[in-house]
Amino acid sequence: MKPYKIHFSQQLFTDDRAARVVMCNDFQQRIASDDNFLSRLCFSDEATFHLSGHVNRHNCVVWGTQNPHVVEEVPIKSPGVTVWCAMFRDVIIGPYFFDSTVTSKAYKKMLEEYLVPELRRRRRLRTTIFQQDGAPPHWSLEVRAFLNQNFPARWIGRDGPSHWSARSPDLSPLDFYLWGFIKDRVYRRRPSSLSELHDFIEEEVMAVPVDCLPGVFSNFERRLRLCLREGGGHFEQYL
């Protein structure tokens, strides 16, 4: 007998594979035709951090002749905070903390009062290609109208000028790198209050080594190739 680890992947629906192939081909064409495309590309996402969160121990294997029946108690509805970040190839913008549930109104407020002024301060507003996933708050008419006004023909998302395929966290640098990296570091510090959790998240995001970001974007390019090789299917078992 041998030990095996279960690999968890996002669910893909019938039409997702074809949509992912189209998206990956589009990204590859834009990378090939524009030497500055990746330096202008800005990925974005939200994540929720709970006080009951713990360091990922997916590499831990228990050997024994009998089931040890180990039980880990997890609080129900543990308090937490929702955080937004954006990532370029050379810098991370954020974190931005939402006061409550992320609604389309709250999301638009973040874009209007935080992201756009920050990009303007960095003199990147007119060149940035902004990416977001298809979460309902991102898809509202008011949010799309705002993006069309501030990133004309320069945003990627659901029903945007360029499409971002549904159920594709394996292609987003924030999902396949940043959130896991930050959560591991935050939960190792064992925050005991929401205020402490907030402070730890901010400190760890600010401490992400900038020189690792080009490698993350290189990994993104590699993932595009693997996704195409698998016809839009799951590919992370090859990474």
Q: Tokens for 149?
A: 């006004």
Of 31, 1, 2, 5, give the one whose Cα is nearest residue 228. 31
Q: Tokens for 215?
A: 């490698």
What per-residue confidence (pLDDT) applies to 67?
58
What per-residue confidence (pLDDT) applies to 75?
54
- Residue numbers of the chain with a pLDDT score lower than 70: 1-2, 4-7, 54-77
CATH of domain 16-49+78-238: 3.30.420.10
Contact yes or no for 205/161 (Cβ under 8 A) = no
> For 105-139, what is each residue's pLDDT tens digit?
999 999 999 999 999 999 999 999 999 999 999 99
The average confidence (pLDDT) of the chain is 90
> For 175-187, what is each residue's pLDDT tens digit?
999 999 999 999 9
CA distances, 227 to each of 41, 51, 170 (Å): 19, 34, 9
What per-residue confidence (pLDDT) applies to 57?
47
What per-residue confidence (pLDDT) applies to 9?
75
H or E stretch at 48: strand 41-50
What per-residue confidence (pLDDT) applies to 102?
95
What per-residue confidence (pLDDT) applies to 236?
82
Contact yes or no for 37/129 (Cβ under 8 A) = yes
Helices (runs of H) and strands (runs of E) counted in the chain? 10, 5
Q: Which pTM does this prediction carry?
A: 0.88
What per-residue confidence (pLDDT) applies to 47?
96
